[in-house]
A and B are shown apart, each in its own frame.
Chain A
């Protein structure tokens, strides 16, 4: 079976939180729960005086990659609204190629899990 994922270019993710809110809107997720969350590392100063600040949208166990939309050929709702345009949806195979071409990206392959 083909695996799908989200490729996120965290070099340019600004932490606008559009993905978080878009996800909640399309899936009617109540407050206190999330389908994707922007994890925030920074700002902190490195020895060379530059700041590190990365924000990484991370799918949660509620993320179904907007299967209803992708079945129709649309992209997930978070990807559509991402202000910095740093999210891509696709097959793991295609996204892995993109991952090779540009550094500072991360590939998520979310699937709702049960324990």
Chain B
């Protein structure tokens, strides 16, 4: 993106918007007694980088009084979800922490032992411990524990430049979220995740002359309406449906889109790769593929055809437990539609053969000729990416140190590709102190004990035992920080900060948005500003090239060093559309060398993957039965007769966040386990009754929601639960282990390349309990309802 491209995106007005509106208003303006600041938020509160348009109304006292959706945003057009509608309640929540705090290590887990301290004192304590630990054990013994959806989780700046450790670690087993899909796409196509083209980058949106409406959209293990996955505005799907796009839905669980799909394949959880291979086989055998694209732009088609022939539809139907005619119908409908697209979701990552599942989906997109076609799949160009991954490695992590990254020997495809230590091996290192001990930690927008990590009690014990010093960086106290930290550093909400938001974390970016600071709650820094301040304190030499935080933001996000002036200038556009090109492979826009073709060794989409082959993985896709399933473990069927799937999102919460905001908590007060009416009846479970759900890894207490959303063999458990209204001290820790579905999810069951985890295809049993643990919303209101 050139600097000249940062201009306000043309507005496309929603039909329901009245004629009195704020279209065309500048980034900041007066409205009656208010100063209104237009902004595109990206965390906190957590969310993927969609950057929905927001108008923040601030009164004369500098207080945020009113929040409204900004109709100037080309994609969101004034619409907002409950989490930004309640932004004011988040900013002024009585549970928010606005001052740094310290606690003696011996008092970890004691919620009453925190003492407020100054920033200077907090930094001095960090410096003392940091220098001692580096001198005694080495910088590699420091772990940066990251989560998802907040800017802080993506900032390699923290581990590299601030602390100088190679061990930046996303805390979910097998990095089973988005990154396996990015990695598979990078290995096979040379570009990362190819997003559905929803005309987000086109000035006239759906009516733009360059656009062709998607005829068929396949929603594969993805529920975008609730999750706005990876920066995609979920309700763009509904916008397309209203214009005539038809849906194919592939999911073990019924969601609203399933009820609006022409074909809904309710497959057995975890069997997606078998289904995908069968669809490829049908499309090839029935000659429904794009001959020209396959001939000119694909590599290894014959080998792929031979491999997928081992998975005829009839066999897949048996494995997936779906009617075979639905598989045929879906394959034909998808292949015949032009353009068509597949949105592939988290479910693809959360299985052991996720990399093979991705491989098949990419092959489907390729052989039907939908890559980089208007209304098909947008392929990230050679210029995609925004500086994040890899920032600071070169200067701060010498090669010898880099090679010490946990998992580098066993999982080079994982560690080298994403510059992240392999999560499951990190847990082992914490537990065993091999290959070396881990002695210091800091949280990068993560709450692993309540949300990110599997078998969280194991992580809890390992972190408590190993870490001599740990830093919590957040807005609210949570179970992870309460259990493991010695210092708490508070950060700003999105309303109090500047910054950028590039949709989809940079690949396939359609809009570039800017955050503007509208209010001040005590000069709190954003994650990036904190990294600057702390980094400069610990390593002045690394940060001396930027006079202040603002210059770092400009360098990090825009790749420009102009004293912050360029940022000030371009950020006034609030939201810009990113220029896109179609058919980049024909124009030499995918490869760094400017040649036509894809950025792979063969220059083609590698249906037979040279990269997989190089890493010792099978170059062609294969199906593996989930390791824990009624088929693979028939001997356990009596003990664990049900399939467990987890993690579907709701609009009320971003993973473990928003539980202390009364208006969002009220939408979903209790942790729900979805169970089919027939299964519930057999087990003597009534709707709304509390149940114990358990398997060989652990158990959780949840509230039954009796619903046809799951079939008789399957239950679905919500994730991310903790109870900020409860006692925070050990051993309760806000009840984080009581209703924790991750107790039932294991570590260490990833695929050959180190990616993937079976969190959406496990087994379990369920029984009713007589107690009720219902949330008292009046207590939540009393505790958190009065804003400060």
Please list the residues of chain A having a beta carbon within 8 angstroms of any beta carbon in chain B: 12, 14-18, 20-22, 24-25, 30-32, 42-45, 50-53, 55, 72-75, 77, 79-85, 87-89
Contacts and interface: CB of A to CB of B under 8 A. Distances in A.
16 contacts: A12-B241, A15-B256, A16-B651, A32-B777, A32-B778, A53-B258, A73-B18, A80-B78, A81-B78, A82-B16, A83-B80, A84-B235, A85-B14, A85-B235, A85-B239, A87-B16
B545 interface: no
A97 to B, nearest CB: 14
Interface of B: 14-21, 67-69, 77-82, 85-86, 88-89, 225-226, 234-235, 238-239, 241-242, 254, 256, 258-259, 264, 651-652, 662-664, 666-667, 707-709, 777-778, 780-781, 785
Contacts of A88: 15-16
A84 B667 contact: no
Given A44-B708, A45-B708, A74 B79 contact: no
Given A25-B663, A43-B708, A43-B709, A85 B16 contact: yes
A12 B15 CA distance: 15
Contact of B663 (A31, A52, A82): A31
Contact of A81 (B19, B80, B256, B785): B80
Contacts of A31: 662-663, 666, 777-778, 780-781, 785
Contacts of B226: 16
Contact of A73 (B19, B85, B234): B19
B703 to A, nearest CB: 17
A9 to B, nearest CB: 9
A30 B785 contact: yes
B79 A82 contact: yes
B723 to A, nearest CB: 16
Contacts of A73: 18-20
Given A17-B651, A43-B707, A53-B256, A83 B242 contact: no
A30 to B, nearest CB: 6
A25 B88 contact: yes
Interface centre among A42, A45, A53 (most CB of B within 10 A): A53
A80 B17 contact: yes
Give the 5 A-B CB pairs with smallest separation, nearest first: A73-B20, A53-B259, A21-B82, A51-B259, A83-B235
A21 B781 CA distance: 15
Contact of B85 (A81, A85, A89): A81
Given A74-B21, A85-B79, A14 B664 contact: no
A46 B652 CA distance: 29
B247 to A, nearest CB: 12
Contacts of B78: 80-81
A18 B20 contact: no
B225 A16 contact: yes
Contacts of B663: 21, 24-25, 31
A84 B82 contact: no
Interface centre among A12, A14, A82 (most CB of B within 10 A): A14
Contacts of B664: 21
B785 to A, nearest CB: 7
A85 B233 CA distance: 13
A81 B254 contact: no
B667 A51 contact: no
A60 B502 CA distance: 39
Nearest to A87: B16
Contacts of B67: 25
Contacts of A44: 708
A12 B18 contact: no
